[in-house]
Every structure is written in structure tokens, then in C-alpha cells.
């Protein structure tokens, strides 16, 4: 696999670890992937819940928690560390400013269009900006808005297809439609990136359901510079989630993965379970909103509190939460180290080229 650059940072292993919240990809997983030459990514979603003893309210704890996770990651690795920040978060702007002030190498921003992200940069900022999109149209809108308003173009673009885990940027009827597959979207996004070639090289990164080295080779041949993988890194020793959370990946089959509706306003892909069944029966209706974490969430209309559900699941309480996962997450058979996962991917990649 060839290295590539996200802005000024050389990514020696062209693998980006997807940001997974709440509390699934923190400094532990991120630093392990970065140590292997890829980009390790801390998820900022709900990070304040992980630091209940920090001072202040939930929003203040989110800022302090992100600072702490970046500090811990820096202690563990000299590799490239990114932060994933959902645009749908109520405190998106504050988290982006914090990541930049703390000199995170990259911000990955999805679950909405991060149209104002470059406005948070300072003259001496070292943070690269990478939007996550699910269509060429979104990529074009972001590029044009950033160039027009901030004289800035993305340092890379992640294009995430409908086989991804977690929140999906597609309507329900598009998820299984081949016209919206990653294979269809990638050439369109590559074309958009190519329109700015004279101004800036914008590498495109493929994401969503990529599981094997053979998958990586297939997308690399299409012209992407790198790939983003999330689910393959959950069943690792270094992943920050609980053993119970990881074991859902190990002990489930293809039929256990389903599409759900999230209070964020998007469909999502997750493992089925007791909590999701309770939601369907109306048993998880929130009585109040303690966090105001999502811009679009109205607790009076919401079937459950998503931040609590994801937090409880990551901590191992699967009766009170559920596990997001990519379409092929069930293929994992054991807990491995991050190095073992990457070595396996590399071996499969090399074999597919023969």
C-alpha cells in the first residue's frame, strides 16, 4: 500500500480508523492504530459522559474530556491522531475549536455538512480538515462553500457508503439500492476532487463496510488514496469499549444486524438486541433531556436517548443500549490486537494483487 498525505501529514499506512462513539474509539484504540502508521481517531461524541468527576456541566466535561483523550493519545504515540466530531452535535463548534487548540492532527466531520469548519482555524493552526460525505453533491457543496467563504479546500474527503456502521447519510430506500453503493459513489466524488486539482490535491478516502484486504485493494484500484475502517477495530484488545461490547461482534451472525431509526434523524446500522426491541415497544421513551447533545433531537418526540444508549452499551450494559456495526461486522471470530488486524489486512491485500 502506498502512503499518501492529508495536508502536511504523511499517512504511511493508508488506513484511517473510523471514529466510534460513545467511548468506543478513544486514546487507546487511536494510539494503537497511529502506532502502526495509520490515522487513529478519537470520537468526540458523548465524551463528557466518560468524565463524570470533571468540573462543570455536561458541555464543559466534553471539552475537558476531549483535551484529556488527546493528551493521553500523545503520551502513547507519535503517530497521526484525528478527532471525529459529528456536525449534528449541539457543541460541534466548541469541540472543533478545542481539537484545533489542542493541535489534533485532523478533524473528521460528518453527520451533517460542516460548512463553517474552516472558520475555527487560527493562523498558526496545525489541524487538517476532512469532511465525511455520502454523495458527490455534498462533496461539491462543501468544497465550493469552503473555497468561497474561507479560501480553503478540504485536506481530504471521506466518502462513506451505505454499508457503514452507525449513522448513515442515506434514506432507508437507498441503503440497499445499488445506485447508491460505495462503488457507484466513489468515481463521482473522485471527479469532484479532481475539479480542484490545479488548486489542491484532495485525496479521497473510501469508507463503509470495508472488511478485508481484498476490499481495500478493490477500492484502491478505483483511485482512492486510502480507506476508513471502523468495525474491524472494535474486537481488539486496544479498543476502548468493554469486553461485553466487543463480544457482541464475536457472538453474532449476519441476521443480527439491522437498520434502525436514530433520534439524530438518520437511519443507522446496529446489532439487534433487547434494548432495540424495547424501543420498538415504546419502553425507552425519555422523560427529560439531561444533555441537549444533538441539535435535531426533541426528547418529547424521541423514542429513546441515543447518547445514554451508546454510553451504556460501550460500558457493557447491553440491556440499556445497543451496538452500532458495519454490514460485515459479524465476520469477526476473535479478539485480536490492532497489529494482528492490520497484519491480516496487509496479507489479504498482497494476496489479492497476485
Half-sphere exposure of 120 (CA within 13 A, CB side): 21
205 lies in the same domain as 347: yes
pLDDT over 80 (residue 211): yes
pLDDT over 80 (residue 297): no
Mean pLDDT taken over the chain = 94
pLDDT over 80 (residue 290): no
Q: What is the pLDDT of residue 244?
A: 96
220 lies in the same domain as 74: yes
Contacts of 168 (CB under 8 A, 6+ apart): 134, 160, 162, 175, 259, 266, 267, 268, 269
115 lies in the same domain as 89: yes
Domain annotation covers residue 152: yes
Domain annotation covers residue 269: yes
pLDDT over 90 (residue 292): no
251 lies in the same domain as 236: no
pLDDT tens by residue, 91-119: 999 999 999 999 999 999 999 999 999 99
126 lies in the same domain as 216: yes
Report whether 117 contacts 89 (CB < 8 A): no
Beta-carbon neighbour count of residue 67 at 10 Å? 17
CATH of the domain at 129: 3.20.20.70
Mean pLDDT lowest among 33-47, 110-124, 184-198, 252-266 = 252-266
Domain annotation covers residue 11: yes
SS3 (DSSP) at 347: helix
Mean pLDDT lowest among 47-51, 138-142, 259-263, 290-294 = 290-294
203 lies in the same domain as 291: no
Q: What is the pLDDT of residue 133?
A: 97
β-strands 157-160, 257-261 pairing: unpaired
114 lies in the same domain as 236: yes
pLDDT over 80 (residue 289): no
pLDDT band at 155 (very low <50, low <70, confident <90, very high): very high
The H or E element that residue 247 is part of is helix 243-251
Contacts of 348 (CB under 8 A, 6+ apart): 212, 213, 214, 216
Domain annotation covers residue 216: yes
169 lies in the same domain as 192: yes
Residues 266-275, mean pLDDT to the nearest whole number: 92
Q: What is the pLDDT of residue 300?
A: 74
Residue 279 belongs to domain spanning: 246-314
Got the DSSP string for 194-206?
HTTTTT----EEE
Report whether 164 contacts 261 (CB < 8 A): no
From 294, 293, 252, select the one nearest 276 (Cα to Cα): 252
276 lies in the same domain as 156: no
254 lies in the same domain as 196: no
Write out 277-307 in H/E/C secondary structure.
HHHHCCCCCCCCCCCCCECCCCCCCCCCCHH
Number of folded domains that form the chain: 2
From 68, 21, 13, 67, select the one nearest 46 (Cα to Cα): 21
Domain annotation covers residue 307: yes
Percent over 70 (pLDDT), the chain: 100
For residue 66 the three cell numbers come to: 476531549
SS3 (DSSP) at 211: coil
Q: What is the pLDDT of residue 44?
A: 97
Got the DSSP string for 70-135?
HHHHHHH-SSEEEEEEETTBTTHHHHHHHHHHTT-SEEEEESS--TTGGGG--TT---EEEEEESS
pLDDT tens by residue, 173-207: 999 989 999 999 999 999 999 999 999 999 999 99
Calculate the alpha carbon distances from 110 to 32, 38, 186 in Å.
23, 20, 17
β-strands 226-229, 204-207 pairing: parallel
Q: What is the pLDDT of residue 124?
A: 92
User: What's CA 292's distance to the chain center, in Å?
Assistant: 21
129 lies in the same domain as 266: no
Domain annotation covers residue 327: no
pLDDT band at 31 (very low <50, low <70, confident <90, very high): very high
Place of cell 467563504: 149
Report whether 3 contacts 220 (CB < 8 A): no
pLDDT over 90 (residue 294): no
pLDDT band at 301 (very low <50, low <70, confident <90, very high): confident
For residue 47 the three cell numbers come to: 465524551
| pTM across the whole model | 0.95
The H or E element that residue 142 is part of is helix 136-150
187 lies in the same domain as 300: no
Amino acid at each position: 500500500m502506498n502512503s499518501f498525505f492529508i495536508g502536511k501529514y504523511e499517512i504511511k499506512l493508508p488506513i484511517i480508523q473510523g471514529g466510534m462513539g460513545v467511548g468506543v474509539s478513544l486514546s487507546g484504540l487511536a494510539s494503537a492504530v497511529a502506532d502502526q502508521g495509520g490515522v487513529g481517531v478519537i470520537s468526540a461524541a458523548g465524551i463528557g459522559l466518560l468524565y463524570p468527576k470533571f468540573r462543570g456541566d455536561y458541555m464543559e466535561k466534553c471539552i475537558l474530556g476531549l483535551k484529556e483523550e488527546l493528551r493521553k493519545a500523545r503520551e502513547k504515540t507519535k503517530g497521526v491522531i484525528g478527532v471525529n466530531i459529528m456536525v449534528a452535535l449541539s457543541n460541534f463548534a466548541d469541540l472543533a475549536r478545542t481539537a484545533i487548540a489542542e493541535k489534533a492532527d485532523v478533524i473528521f466531520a460528518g453527520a451533517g455538512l460542516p460548512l463553517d469548519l474552516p472558520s475555527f482555524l487560527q493562523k498558526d493552526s496545525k489541524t487538517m480538515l476532512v469532511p465525511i460525505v455520502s454523495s458527490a453533491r455534498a462533496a461539491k457543496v462543501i468544497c465550493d462553500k469552503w473555497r468561497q467563504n474561507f479560501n480553503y479546500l478540504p485536506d481530504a474527503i471521506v466518502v462513506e457508503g451505505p454499508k457503514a456502521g452507525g449513522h448513515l447519510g442515506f434514506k432507508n430506500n437507498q441503503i440497499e439500492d445499488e445506485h447508491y453503493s460505495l462503488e457507484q459513489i466513489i468515481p463521482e466524488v473522485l471527479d469532484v476532487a479532481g475539479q480542484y486539482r490545479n488548486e489542491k490535491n484532495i485525496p479521497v478516502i473510501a469508507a463503509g463496510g470495508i472488511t478485508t484486504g481484498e476490499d481495500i485493494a478493490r477500492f484502491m484500484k478505483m483511485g482512492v488514496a486510502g480507506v476508513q475502517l471502523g468495525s474491524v477495530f472494535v474486537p481488539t484488545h486496544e479498543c476502548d469499549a468493554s469486553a461485553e461490547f466487543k463480544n457482541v461482534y464475536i457472538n453474532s451472525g449476519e441476521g443480527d444486524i439491522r437498520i434502525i431509526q436514530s433520534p439524530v434523524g438518520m437511519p443507522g446500522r446496529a446489532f439487534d438486541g433487547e434494548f432495540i426491541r424495547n424501543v420498538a415497544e415504546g419502553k425507552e421513551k425519555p422523560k427529560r433531556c439531561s444533555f441537549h447533545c444533538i441539535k435535531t433531537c426533541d426528547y418529547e418526540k424521541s423514542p429513546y436517548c441515543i447518547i445514554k444508549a451508546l454510553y451504556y452499551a460501550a460500558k457493557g450494559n447491553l440491556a440499556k443500549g445497543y451496538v452500532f456495526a458495519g454490514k460485515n461486522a459479524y465476520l469477526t471470530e476473535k479478539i485480536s490486537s490492532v497489529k494482528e488486524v492490520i497484519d491480516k489486512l496487509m496479507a489479504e491485500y498482497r494476496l489479492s494483487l497476485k
